[in-house]
Chains A and B, each alone.
Chain A
């Protein structure tokens, strides 16, 4: 149901994102979803004249993903957020908070990828 979607791979990621930049696309954000079996979907959203183009990348969460913060500086906060929430590593991040953008040192769980419920339901 997502329109204007292009499937990409780890190898083609930076090239495709650079193409988006050359095309004058504004980077909106990326969305990440845990799809199970150690994999996640990352969808990179770009906008031009109110039309959204989405690059979909499926990654193994234990494998580093090339950072696009060298192409779009604004990606640095989103990539740091994904490091905190999904424990996905990004290679070449221009400003790496080292999984401490949101989390404290003592937090070892991966908030969006484990079975710990957000809070206990009161009975």
Chain B
């Protein structure tokens, strides 16, 4: 049988973002995959030349809408470390709570899209219905559903009242109950298992060697999670990385599903342990020095390298996003799979082209 090259993307019904993969197939079996990026590259790192280090918070939030809060948190942490600013404890707890809410809505969004990818529209709608609760919390507490803009250098700009905290906790109770109600469907349903178990396998060794990040790495049995670095309030929060060992699409989706429930617990812990105090420490002067800072985004480890030379414009802001790290592992998952499984495998890394094309 002759080999054929099938272009997957950049526009594809299952993936609304422009990722292009050239698939070399024989019959309907994929032999090789070659990626192409750059369709929507925005050069946001270059903007550091004309946006001062405070304005860059708004820029990094737009690297990715879905994890905007965690991007700004990572960036602010870096600047604070360079400038020696001690962030008030209350602000750290607030950052932790908002970042876990962001993880929840990102995972619920992805779980819905994943269900949609194999034609399970009812499940897709259930996940997105639950996600609306989290979006409502974001809107009520920060004024915005997606790009919350609460992080500033030195702390946060919004506070939570006791009434807000109890309302958030009651919403999370309901969300947790609703998520558990569909647990059997996403993890044990025959059709879901048939489309995901044993599909797109990435072994533990491959995941590690190819630099996978986040649920893609943990779904292959590696217990790596940047929250173990105990940034923000994670030093006072009980937390264990969620790990699955099968390395297939099912394992990656199960990690995300379980992390959604874990985030409910982490938000509860953050709200319960939040002390009284200031929201932000004063920020004077300009950053001078260089720093590497890492956080765990919904899609995995995010790394910022920041270099300043005492001016209001930074010399360099380098952003390594998790999807960028997960492209080489994706190229290892695709060979020998069936053509029909390609959309499911690609979605299983939770690709964010907005992050990749920052």
Known A-B contacts A73-B328, A74-B328; the reply to A28 vs B50 at CB < 8 A is: no
Interface string of A92-116 (1 = CB under 8 A from B): 0001000011110000000110000
Nearest A-chain residue to B206, judged by Cβ? A73
Contact of A118 among B46, B210, B307 (CB under 8 A): B46
CA distance A34 to B37 in the complex (A): 23
Cβ–Cβ contact B301 & A121, under 8 A = no
> Chain B at the A interface: mostly helix, strand, loop or mixed?
mixed
Cβ–Cβ contact B50 & A29, under 8 A = no
* A27: chain B residues within 8 A (beta carbon): 211
Nearest B-chain residue to A121, judged by Cβ? B50
Cβ–Cβ contact A43 & B38, under 8 A = no
Cβ–Cβ contact B211 & A74, under 8 A = yes
Contact of A28 among B37, B301, B307, B329 (CB under 8 A): B301
* A72: chain B residues within 8 A (beta carbon): 209, 211
Cβ–Cβ contact B294 & A52, under 8 A = yes
CA distance A4 to B107 in the complex (A): 34
Known A-B contacts A28-B301, A43-B305, A118-B43; the reply to A101 vs B290 at CB < 8 A is: no
Is B229 in the interface zone, CB < 8 Å from A?
A: yes
Known A-B contacts A43-B305, A102-B38, A103-B38; the reply to A33 vs B46 at CB < 8 A is: no
Cβ–Cβ contact B208 & A26, under 8 A = yes
* CB-CB contacts below 8 Å: A1-38 with B: 1-2, 21, 24, 26-29, 31-34
* A2: chain B residues within 8 A (beta carbon): 290-292
CA distance A54 to B34 in the complex (A): 29
Cβ–Cβ contact A33 & B211, under 8 A = no
Cβ–Cβ contact A50 & B49, under 8 A = no
Cβ–Cβ contact B307 & A111, under 8 A = no
Nearest A-chain residue to B324, judged by Cβ? A77
Cβ–Cβ contact B50 & A1, under 8 A = no
* A61: chain B residues within 8 A (beta carbon): none
Is A123 in the interface zone, CB < 8 Å from B?
A: no
* A95: chain B residues within 8 A (beta carbon): 34
* A111: chain B residues within 8 A (beta carbon): 43, 46
Is B47 in the interface zone, CB < 8 Å from A?
A: yes
* CB-CB contacts below 8 Å: B224-274 with A: 224, 226, 228-229
* B328: chain A residues within 8 A (beta carbon): 73-74, 76-77
CA distance A28 to B217 in the complex (A): 12
**Given A28-B211, A28-B320, A33-B318, 13 more contacts at CB 8 Å?**
A1-B291, A28-B303, A31-B305, A32-B318, A33-B305, A33-B315, A50-B224, A74-B328, A77-B37, A101-B37, A102-B37, A118-B49, A119-B47
Identify the A interface with B (CB < 8 A). 1-2, 21, 24, 26-29, 31-34, 43, 45, 47, 50, 52, 54, 72-74, 76-77, 95, 100-103, 111-112, 117-119, 121
Identify the B interface with A (CB < 8 A). 34-38, 41, 43, 45-47, 49-50, 81-82, 208-211, 224, 226, 228-229, 289-292, 294, 301, 303, 305, 307, 315-316, 318, 320, 324-325, 327-329, 357
A-B contact pairs, 25 of them (CB 8 A): A1-B81, A2-B291, A26-B224, A27-B211, A28-B301, A29-B324, A29-B325, A31-B316, A31-B320, A33-B305, A34-B316, A43-B292, A50-B224, A50-B226, A50-B228, A54-B292, A73-B210, A74-B328, A76-B328, A77-B35, A77-B37, A95-B34, A102-B41, A117-B50, A118-B47
Q: Which 4 A-B pairs have the closest CB atoms?
A: A31-B305, A102-B38, A29-B320, A74-B328
